[in-house]
């Protein structure tokens, strides 16, 4: 007989997950419109109030390249302010349990994070990034892989000495938008290298939607076989073909417990145009149509996880409300279906019922809830020809 218990079929699949919100950094970096500092602070705060405990809020790289983050210090300062602490405590939230991350692709950004830390407004955690495919890595960092690894090793030591954690990202695991197919084995090796030089955790990233569910399951099974502590692994999926939900499910089945997402499925390569002016970003877009890229959608992911009965810690209805506000903030429709159609409610939607069913059943002599003719046997009998 087939096993019907999902968690027995996939014994590594978790009953509880952590979902980090990276909207204010990764989600906004692809927008060709500056999002006000007040809006960034609002969404960071509200996401935390809705249950987020791992939030990525800015990029500490050169604001000339990515002017979306010219207000990095203001955003971080607010999240370290006494006002924010009081707002958290009023809601029963311990602000010290919220991990604030800033991206620091280069060592100069790590140095900036350390300076902010010394001022009392620095992040808890930084993030550096390698791609297993070197052309993609060069496009993001301007460096070769060997020279970047040496810079990352120096940066991690500085980071740890300053009391911060460093997440090491491995990208192009399932393919590169520039050079095509990649090897999963390379990503396993890169993960091990990050841990060898002192990274605290690993973001396993599909940065262009190349992943397929079978390869996601295979990769994370390989990872957990070699590095079995699920606390240090984070799945980061992009959505370009509307298949990221399948990748999330495959990662869950393999045993992954930590995920990242953005409101409305925003995000992607840093913008090379902002408001009314071209900006450097990371150069020309490597997407055919930059409107249809982005990360796993937070609203839809939460509904998916919630309806599987997996604990996640968010107020889903509040997140759906925030998703609707986010569409007003950015000025266009985003990619969440859940903000439109809502959740699947166990109690249903009685307002959509047609009138008259009760009267019709009574007229026909049927009992309330009766679903079969009364003269039929209580249980169906499967015909012999369908039993083999």
Q: How many CA atoms lie within 13 A of 49 on its CB side?
A: 19
Residue 295 is assigned to a structural domain of this protein: yes
pLDDT confidence of residue 35? 98
Residue 89 lies in a domain: yes
Residue 73: its H or E element: helix 72-79
Q: How many separate domains does the chain show? A: 2
Are residues 280 and 372 located together in one domain of the fold? no
In this structure, the answer to whether residues 182 and 322 fall within a common structural domain is yes
Tell me the C-alpha distance between 186 and 181, whole Å. Answer: 12
How does DSSP assign 202-241, residue by residue?
Answer: EEEEETTS---HHHHHHHHHHHHHHS--GGGEEEEEB-SS
361 is in which domain, residue-wise? 354-386
What is the three-class DSSP state of 245? helix
CA dist., res. 348 & res. 351, Å (int): 9
In the prediction, which pLDDT does 346 show?
Answer: 86
Q: Is 7 domain-assigned?
A: no
- Domain membership flag for residue 289: yes
For residue 297, the domain's CATH number is 3.20.20.70
Whether residue 259 lies inside any domain: the answer is yes
Task: Establish if 172 belongs to a structural domain.
Answer: yes
- d(C-alpha 42, C-alpha 369), whole Å: 48
Query: Within this chain, do residues 306 and 372 fall inside the same structural domain, yes or no?
Result: no
**Residue 129, pLDDT score:** 96
Q: H or E stretch including 169?
A: strand 165-171
Contact 229, 286 (CB under 8 A): no
Specify whether 151 is located in the same domain as 240: yes
Q: Give me the pLDDT at residue 177, please.
A: 86
Per-residue buried b or exposed e for 45-55, using 16+ beta carbons within 10 Å of the residue's own CB: bbbbbbbbbbb
Do 179 and 289 lie in a common domain?
Answer: yes
Q: In terms of C-beta density within 10 A (0-12 exposed, 13-18 middle, 19 or more buried), how is residue 262 classed?
A: buried
130 lies in some domain: yes
53 shares its domain with 158: yes
| Same domain for 231 and 192 | yes
Q: How confident is the prediction along the chain (388 residues), in pLDDT tens digits per residue?
A: 889 999 999 999 999 999 999 999 999 999 999 999 999 999 999 999 999 999 999 999 999 999 999 999 999 999 999 999 999 999 999 999 999 999 999 999 999 999 999 999 999 999 999 999 999 999 888 999 999 999 999 999 999 999 999 999 999 999 998 899 999 999 999 999 999 999 999 999 998 888 999 999 999 999 999 999 999 999 999 998 889 999 999 999 999 999 999 999 999 889 999 999 999 998 888 888 877 889 999 999 999 999 999 999 999 999 999 999 999 999 999 999 999 998 888 888 888 899 999 999 999 999 999 999 999 999 999 999 998 7
From CA 42, how far away is CA 59, in angstroms rounded?
A: 17
Which residue matches tokens 């970047």? 148
DSSP lists the bridge partners of residue 235 as 204, 259
Q: Judge if 360 and 265 occupy the same domain.
A: no
Start-to-end CA distance of the chain, whole Å, equals 13
360 and 241 together in one domain? no
pLDDT at 345: 85
Asked if the structure places residue 347 within a domain, the reply is no
**Same structural domain for residues 223 and 364?**
no
371 and 237 co-located in one domain: no
**Phi, psi (5° rounding) for residue 43?**
-70, -35
Q: Is the dihedral of CA 285, 288, 290, 295 positive or negative?
A: negative
Residues 294 and 257 in one domain: yes
- Does the predicted TM-score (pTM) go above 0.75? yes
């Amino acid at each position: 007989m087939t096993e019907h218990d999902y968690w027995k079929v996939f014994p590594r699949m978790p009953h509880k997950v952590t979902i980090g919100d990276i909207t204010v950094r990764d989600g906004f970096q692809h927008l060709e419109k500056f999002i006000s500092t007040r809006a960034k602070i609002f969404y960071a705060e509200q996401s935390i109030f809705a249950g987020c405990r791992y939030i990525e809020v800015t990029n500490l790289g050169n604001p000339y390249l990515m002017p979306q983050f010219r207000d990095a210090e203001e955003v971080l300062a607010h999240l370290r302010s006494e006002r924010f602490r009081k707002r958290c405590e009023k809601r029963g939230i311990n602000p010290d349990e919220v991990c604030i991350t800033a991206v620091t692709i280069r060592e100069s950004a790590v140095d900036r994070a350390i300076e902010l830390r010394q001022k009392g407004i620095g992040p808890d955690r930084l993030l550096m990034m390698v791609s297993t495919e070197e052309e993609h890595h060069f496009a993001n960092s301007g460096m070769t892989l060997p020279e970047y690894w040496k810079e990352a090793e120096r940066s991690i030591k500085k980071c740890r000495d300053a009391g911060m954690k460093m997440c090491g990202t491995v990208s192009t695991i399932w393919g590169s938008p520039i050079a095509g197919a990649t090897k999963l084995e390379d990503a396993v090796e890169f993960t091990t290298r990050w841990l060898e030089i002192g990274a605290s955790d690993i973001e396993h990233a599909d940065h262009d939607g190349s992943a397929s569910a079978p390869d996601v399951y295979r990769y994370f099974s390989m990872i957990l076989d070699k590095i079995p502590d699920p606390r240090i692994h984070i799945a980061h999926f992009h959505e370009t073909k509307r298949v990221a939900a399948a990748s999330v499910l495959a990662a869950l089945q393999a045993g992954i417990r930590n995920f990242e997402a953005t409101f409305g499925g925003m995000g992607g390569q840093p913008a090379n145009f902002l408001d009314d002016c071209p900006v450097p970003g990371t150069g020309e877009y490597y997407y055919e149509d930059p409107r249809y890229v982005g990360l796993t959608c937070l609203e839809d992911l939460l509904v998916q996880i919630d309806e599987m009965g997996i604990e996640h810690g968010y107020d889903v209805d509040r997140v759906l409300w925030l998703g609707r506000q986010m569409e007003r903030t950015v000025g266009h429709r985003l990619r969440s279906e859940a903000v439109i159609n809502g959740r699947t409610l166990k109690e249903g939607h009685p307002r959509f019922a047609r009138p008259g069913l009760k009267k019709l059943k009574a007229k026909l002599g049927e009992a309330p809830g009766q679903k079969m003719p009364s003269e039929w046997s209580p249980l169906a009998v499967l015909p012999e020809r369908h039993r083999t």
